[in-house]
């Protein structure tokens, strides 16, 4: 069973930039909206996957990135990576939010509530598929946030962005699908005035959570490789 990590944070909080530390030779990015990756040389590191052969005997030829926001296509790619790309040990879905929001836009003229049921099902299906991939894989899902409460009359709570109460009622909370949830944040250093990008591993004002003892620190570097390595060490009980 693969391990999954859910990263929540607003746009610009460093979720995508954390991929920069990953090894492109063992990583695949499912890029929902085809945005450029935000570090020097990324276009050479991550190129579209090319395949050879015809169905049902399609094989991987080259590349390590997919551009697609359709949930069924994402599920098919996860299966392909699992079965046809044995060298891949990390999969990043960036940005998982758009798989939901673009589905809603594509079906905006539908009057039925079926589309909301489908959106909830799509989220659960992707999360479930990720968990059932090979044991050596870690799947990283990046997602935007919303803020509930005003901090005055109600406590503020940062959580994964959703698309209406109907979806929320079906999912309860999106974070419930995951054991590991990070909150991405950018913070200004009071002494140097530099902007630091971090991941919170636990936080009373958000839905952030990590297993007991996985991380000693409340804040860790904006470094996906460090996260991936730590997850593997934790579950293998090795001294890494």
| Domain definitions of the chain by residue range | 3-236
pLDDT, position 174: 83
Q: Which CATH architecture has domain 3-236?
A: 3-Layer(aba) Sandwich (3.40)
Predicted confidence pLDDT, tens digits, the chain (240 residues) = 999 999 999 999 999 999 999 999 999 999 999 999 999 999 999 999 999 999 889 999 999 999 999 999 999 999 999 999 999 999 999 988 899 888 888 888 888 777 777 888 888 899 999 999 999 999 999 999 887 765 555 666 778 887 665 556 655 678 888 999 999 999 988 777 788 999 999 988 899 999 999 999 999 999 999 999 999 999 997 666
Secondary structure string (H, E, C) spanning the chain: CCEEEEEECCCCCCCHHHHHHCCHHHEEEEECCCCCCCCCCHHHHCCECEEECCCCCCEEEECCEEECCCHHHHHHHHHHHHHHCCCCCEEEEECHHHHHHHHHHHCCCCCCCHHHHHHHHHHHHHHHHHHCCCCCCEEEEEECEEEECCCCCCCCEEEECCCCHHHHHHHCCHHHHCCCEEEEEEEECCCCCCEEEEEECCCCCECCECCCCCCCCCEEECCHHHHHHHHHHHHHCCCC
């Amino acid at each position: 069973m693969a391990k999954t990590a859910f990263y929540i944070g607003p746009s610009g909080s460093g979720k995508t930039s954390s991929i920069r530390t990953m090894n492109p030779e063992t990583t695949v990015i499912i890029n929902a909206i085809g945005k450029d990756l935000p570090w020097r040389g990324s276009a050479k590191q991550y190129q579209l996957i090319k395949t050879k052969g015809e169905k049902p005997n399609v094989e991987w030829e080259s590349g390590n990135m997919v551009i697609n926001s359709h949930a069924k296509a994402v599920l098919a790619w996860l299966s392909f990576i699992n079965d046809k790309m044995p060298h891949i040990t990390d999969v990043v879905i960036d940005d998982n939010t758009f798989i939901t929001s673009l589905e809603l836009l594509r079906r905006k003229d539908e009057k039925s509530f079926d589309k909301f049921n489908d959106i909830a099902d799509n989220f659960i299906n992707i999360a479930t598929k990720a968990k059932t991939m090979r044991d050596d894989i870690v799947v990283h899902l990046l997602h935007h946030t919303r803020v509930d409460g005003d901090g005055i009359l109600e406590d503020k709570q940062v959580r994964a962005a959703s698309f209406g109460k109907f979806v929320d009622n079906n999912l309860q909370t999106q974070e419930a699908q995951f054991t590991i949830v990070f909150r991405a944040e950018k913070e200004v250093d009071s002494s140097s005035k530099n902007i630091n990008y971090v991941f919170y591993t636990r936080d009373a004002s958000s839905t952030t959570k990590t297993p007991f003892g996985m991380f000693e620190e409340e804040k860790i570097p904006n470094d996906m490789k460090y996260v991936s390595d730590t997850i593997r060490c934790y579950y293998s009980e090795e001294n890494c």
